Amino acid sequence: MQRTIFDTPIIRDVMPGVSRIFFKLIGWKVVGDFPAINKYVLIAAPHTSNWDFPVGLAICFLGGKKVYWMGKHTLFRGPLGPIARWLGGIAVDRRKSNSLVEQIAEVYQHSEQLIVAVPPEGTRKKVAQWKTGFYYIALQAKVPIVLGYLDFASKTGGCGKVFYPTGDIAQDMQEIQQFYHGIRGKNPDNQ
């Protein structure tokens, strides 16, 4: 994977302190620790607002974790492109039918440590159902799924349980989504 902001020693050492101040100012707190697992897919849900990114990034800094994230390809254009990649961004072009699941699963196979955050909604807008790419990435890469969350109602965020996909997607998705029942995004009408 490309170098990220976490690879810069000054930023890696300073950003947890900045994140603590940011959380104190906005009244947020982290609940739960990142699991002591080298590789996993991190669900980033619910995803209803642009605020999800700075709050989620602050949680990663506070947890001392290098987390890669997938974003719409248009975020990586122009002067913001290098910054987005530096922050761990992986451009995804949803207009193209490609083997993104296979590509990311292969990266997991060749990595000693890798956490990729995936918003299962795939957008900040309301969707009828979650996209399943995160599930199939975890299944093919043989890594667990960590249920990450941002609850704007309680101003808490962090990592919930570690879930190991069984291959029974209907049953597994039901169990995963049950965890998110009652967790409210910034714009709950978009959930």
52: which residues sit within 8 A by CB, 6+ positions away?
44, 119, 124, 150, 185, 186
Its domain, for residue 173, covers 5-185
190 inside domain: no
191 inside domain: no
DSSP H stretches of helix in 87-160: 100-109, 133-141
- 127: nearest Cα among 94, 167, 166: 94
Query: For 52-106, how does the pLDDT look when each residue is reduced to its tens digit (9 = 90+)?
Result: 989 999 999 899 888 998 877 888 889 888 888 888 888 877 666 668 888 888 8
The Cα 165–Cα 111 span in angstroms is 20
Quote the number of domains for the chain: 1
Per-residue pLDDT of the chain (191 residues; tens, 9 = 90+): 555 555 556 566 788 899 999 999 999 999 989 999 999 999 999 988 989 989 999 999 899 888 998 877 888 889 888 888 888 888 877 666 668 888 888 889 989 999 999 988 766 666 778 889 899 999 999 999 999 999 999 999 999 999 999 999 999 999 999 999 999 999 877 76
170 inside domain: yes
80 inside domain: yes
The Cα 167–Cα 169 span in angstroms is 6
Please name the helix (run of DSSP H) or strand (run of DSSP E) that holds residue 155, with its range, or none. Answer: none
146 inside domain: yes
